[in-house]
A and B are shown apart, each in its own frame.
Chain A
């Protein structure tokens, strides 16, 4: 019995610890100097480095020191076919999910060439994943790119459309 109770306590403690860890993964949106410190001023993708539109960049910290950073870039230097599929970057230093689909740590390009989808590409422009986008029709002041808090992590918005980014 005592052994069993110890077992229960141990399992409960383990689960609570896991819960606590997840709780610690709650996202903090970065602003001001914290934001500019982590957002790169330019991003390499498919043969070119393009400047970041700093006004259209956002970042969140998960837990103590895990970051997800995203920004639109000035794609004027790209050919029309690249511009059609690539608008910005997504950088994560921890495994995350985009609307529930896993994405490993790394630096990626993204775009919206497929209607209703956000497509994540590797730095060579190869499609890696495509996730459906939700629409927040009640969003009063949409922006080209922004992050807001969400129960499951953060919402990454493009206009009124968004995906939910969560720490894995």
Chain B
């Protein structure tokens, strides 16, 4: 009996441990990585060039050779691309620098190591004045904006509220701030005003984060590079004892190093003071990026639609950052809890470009971000309350983007149906991509997606059409270059001539263009960066934001463009100005660009 009691007690006490020890591990529901990203595979064909569809409509026509832009050549280091700084330039901007109503074009150029050392002439950036009817005049010399430094980015903003758009040009080296003098010339005032940032400056953004009516400037930093002490190079692989033999490989092939393994750069926020000079408030504001992530793109934008501009920073190979403006001069970084930092599988991605727009017309800003090949681009839906969901694959943007290495990306309503479509330029960083069966290529086709009410489908490329061509694309800018109500595109290609794409879409709806002018007296920047326009036609309410930067080191025309579909009248136009005030306007006709000044009611 006693033994039974002993046994019972022992058994009772032992059972939990036995059960615990015997609890089998949960079987995996799916293979490691789930909807895996970043997994290399071998392919028998390239999926980034030569993909055409004879039944596809003609949307864009390549008109480059009919313009002066055909003579521009981007130049960034050597063809072998032994070093990372040779692979990522450069941006493009569409903006009306001379205020004649026709958007002009600026193309950033790269440089060479020899030019950086003063041993050869540096490549030149170029400014083209739009003379109408697809005539562009190279006014670079007169304007004084050739840069002649290793350029990467351009961000437009009227920092001095004089009604003339100015340009920040982000360089590897010392960046420039070109003040628009209003007479067709610019003056570099970066040193004088305190924004001559050194290092490797990438996709900057202007925005009035502190609500004083003066634009401030955020500049991401990428990688620290010392030209006198360069990283290992794939060209050194066959030299005895080279560390490069094992140091930098992609799929077993020697390639240039970086960004992983190289020291990153912090980011910089310049606050504009009352005297027009700038002070570095990065640390104080909490946006200095002490982790030194590899910053590529940024935008001041209203994430939570309070009256304060928030900030998103897209980083290469490291988490993305989302800064919520607390209204006291500081930001709270919520990249991880918001869902922006990583993709749906919790993976860090090689963030490159950034598109900002309300693709599903729910009134909130969403983000599309481009990534490396063997990985999908990513679409973040804004769920409200500072939460985002990665909806890439549900929206139809996942699988198709995997072979591509994406750069500039923009939401644009190319067919004016009231739903934001998407354009993405691509191109690999490794020339070796053409010599191996990686399923990708060095030059790559661009991707155009039609928005079918928040689901996207790729628009095919008719054989021989512009979209059938492959380019080593980087920068991208959108704007209506010919004033016909259809958005055109400019692509800046690495080591190549740019591409000007004229929108010739036959199925185009009605449209409305808005140029906004903020009231400086009410503490809104004059160029209205940070404004939001809401256009209602029937049951459809669209939103467009006046933005500086984003895309990839580039600048879209700040004229807001709304596709209206079949609607011929605007039921409601509301503008939320940077100071937080909201005005409603009557719009009598469509299919034109109208200018609206804050506080005037017209």
| A80 at interface, CB cutoff 8 A | yes
Known A74-B260, A77-B247, A141-B337; judge A159-B33 contact (CB<8 A): yes
The residues of B that contact A141 with a CB separation of less than 8 Å are 336-337, 339, 342, 346
- CB pair B34–A7 under 8 Å, yes or no, is no
Contact among B17, B252, B253, B319 with A81 in the assembled complex (CB-CB below 8 Å): B252
The residues of A that contact B345 with a CB separation of less than 8 Å are 142, 159-160
- CB pair B33–A161 under 8 Å, yes or no, is yes
| B291 at interface, CB cutoff 8 A | yes
| A163 at interface, CB cutoff 8 A | yes
| B241 at interface, CB cutoff 8 A | no
- CB pair A143–B252 under 8 Å, yes or no, is no
| B6 at interface, CB cutoff 8 A | yes
- CB pair A133–B32 under 8 Å, yes or no, is yes
Surface stretch bound by B, among A11-19, A36-44, A63-71, A120-128: A11-19
Known A15-B10, A55-B319; judge A161-B32 contact (CB<8 A): yes
- CB pair B33–A152 under 8 Å, yes or no, is no
| B13 at interface, CB cutoff 8 A | yes
Bound complex: CA A81 to CA B252 (Å): 7
The residues of A that contact B30 with a CB separation of less than 8 Å are 135, 137
The residues of A that contact B29 with a CB separation of less than 8 Å are 134-135, 137
Known A8-B9, A112-B33, A161-B32; judge A152-B20 contact (CB<8 A): yes
Bound complex: CA A55 to CA B6 (Å): 52
Bound complex: CA A141 to CA B291 (Å): 21
Contact among B9, B25, B34 with A164 in the assembled complex (CB-CB below 8 Å): B25
Q: From residue A24, how far is it (CB to closest CB) to chain B in Å? A: 14
- CB pair B13–A19 under 8 Å, yes or no, is yes
The residues of B that contact A15 with a CB separation of less than 8 Å are 10, 13-14
- CB pair A134–B250 under 8 Å, yes or no, is no
Which residue of chain A has its CB nearest to the CB of B245? A79
| B347 at interface, CB cutoff 8 A | yes
| B54 at interface, CB cutoff 8 A | no
| B248 at interface, CB cutoff 8 A | yes
| B28 at interface, CB cutoff 8 A | yes
> How many residues of B are in contact with the other chain, CB < 8 A?
45
The residues of A that contact B260 with a CB separation of less than 8 Å are 74-76
- CB pair A76–B248 under 8 Å, yes or no, is yes
Bound complex: CA A163 to CA B342 (Å): 21
Q: From residue B319, how far is it (CB to closest CB) to chain A in Å? A: 7
Q: From residue A55, how far is it (CB to closest CB) to chain B in Å? A: 7
| B242 at interface, CB cutoff 8 A | no
Known A11-B10, A76-B257; judge A115-B32 contact (CB<8 A): yes
Q: From residue A3, how far is it (CB to closest CB) to chain B in Å? A: 10
Known A74-B261, A159-B34; judge A11-B9 contact (CB<8 A): yes
Bound complex: CA A70 to CA B337 (Å): 22
| B27 at interface, CB cutoff 8 A | yes
- Write the A156-167 contact mask toward B (1 if CB under 8 angstroms, else 0): 011111011000
| A106 at interface, CB cutoff 8 A | no
The residues of B that contact A149 with a CB separation of less than 8 Å are none
| A30 at interface, CB cutoff 8 A | no
| A131 at interface, CB cutoff 8 A | yes
| A100 at interface, CB cutoff 8 A | yes
- CB pair A79–B32 under 8 Å, yes or no, is no
| A116 at interface, CB cutoff 8 A | yes
The residues of B that contact A160 with a CB separation of less than 8 Å are 34, 345-346
| B595 at interface, CB cutoff 8 A | no
- CB pair A77–B246 under 8 Å, yes or no, is yes
Contact among B17, B34, B250, B336 with A80 in the assembled complex (CB-CB below 8 Å): B250
- CB pair B28–A132 under 8 Å, yes or no, is yes
Bound complex: CA A56 to CA B422 (Å): 33
- CB pair B24–A100 under 8 Å, yes or no, is yes
- CB pair B25–A100 under 8 Å, yes or no, is yes
- CB pair B31–A115 under 8 Å, yes or no, is yes
The residues of B that contact A1 with a CB separation of less than 8 Å are 2
Contact among B33, B251, B261 with A76 in the assembled complex (CB-CB below 8 Å): B261
The residues of B that contact A157 with a CB separation of less than 8 Å are 346
Which of B331-377 touch A at CB < 8 Å?
A: 336-337, 339, 342, 344-348
Contact among B2, B13, B346 with A12 in the assembled complex (CB-CB below 8 Å): B13
Q: From residue A134, how far is it (CB to closest CB) to chain B in Å? A: 4
Bound complex: CA A18 to CA B13 (Å): 10
Which of A65-109 touch B at CB < 8 Å?
A: 74-81, 83, 99-100
- Write the B155-194 contact mask toward A (1 if CB under 8 angstroms, else 0): 0000000000000000000000000000000000000000
The residues of B that contact A131 with a CB separation of less than 8 Å are 25
- CB pair A132–B291 under 8 Å, yes or no, is no
Bound complex: CA A80 to CA B234 (Å): 14
Which residue of chain A has its CB nearest to the CB of B346? A142
Q: From residue B349, how far is it (CB to closest CB) to chain A in Å? A: 11
The residues of B that contact A78 with a CB separation of less than 8 Å are 246
Bound complex: CA A56 to CA B328 (Å): 31
- CB pair B25–A16 under 8 Å, yes or no, is no
Contact among A81, A99, A139 with B25 in the assembled complex (CB-CB below 8 Å): A99
What are the 3 closest A-B residue pairs judged by CB atoms, nearest first? A142-B346, A76-B261, A99-B25
Q: Apart from A79-B246, A137-B34, A144-B347, list 15 A-B contacts with CB within 8 A.
A: A4-B2, A4-B6, A12-B9, A15-B10, A18-B17, A76-B257, A78-B246, A81-B252, A100-B23, A116-B28, A132-B28, A141-B337, A141-B346, A144-B348, A160-B34
In the complex, 11 of the A-B residue pairs with CB atoms within 8 angstroms, ordered by the A residue number, are: A7-B6, A15-B13, A15-B14, A74-B260, A76-B247, A79-B249, A100-B21, A117-B32, A132-B28, A133-B28, A135-B30
Q: Which residues of A contact B (CB under 8 A)?
A: 1, 4, 7-8, 11-12, 15-16, 18-19, 22, 55, 74-81, 83, 99-100, 112, 115-117, 131-135, 137, 139, 141-144, 152, 157-161, 163-164
